[in-house]
Amino acid sequence: MINLSVKTSERVDFIDITDLVATEVSKAAVDSGTVTVYVPHTTCGVTINESADPDVVRDMKMHFAKMVPKDGGFRHYEGNSDSHIKTTMVGSSETIFVEEGRLVLGTWQGVFLCDFDGPRTRKVYLKIRAG
């Protein structure tokens, strides 16, 4: 297992970690297989989405805030229930195919760490498997 650290700079922050993941896959020298990207946090997730147009991330942040507002009348005493709910919606892991030593992603796709309770330093675990 590979352990990476990613710093976020906003309460809700989407960080493109595609290059970090691709670098580790390259180092592993796996020609064909999978890489699982896992975030071990209850207020931070990981997703695959468009990385070419930054407005997509802006729109996602805006829509998450509308769907699950920070001040939604939640009972959780830490005041971050919205973060927990958003993380459940996004999920905590993604599995990506590896072929010819590279991530198999669509033309516009990138891998994003989605922090809903930052800024923080977040852990990202990678498990690369040949096969």
Q: What are the pLDDT digits (tens) for 87-113?
A: 999 999 999 999 999 999 999 999 999
Collect all residues with Cβ–Cβ distance below 8 Å to 104 and sequence separation of at least 6.
96, 97, 98
Q: 58 is in which domain, residue-wise?
A: 2-130
Please report the pLDDT score of residue 76 as a whole number. Answer: 85
Is residue 82 a contact partner of residue 74, using CB atoms and an 8 Å limit? yes
Cβ atoms < 10 Å from Cβ of 39 = 24
- Note the pTM of the prediction, 2 decimals: 0.95
Residue 10, domain CATH: 2.60.120.460
Q: Which residues of the chain have pLDDT under 50?
A: none
Please report the pLDDT score of residue 73 as a whole number. Answer: 86
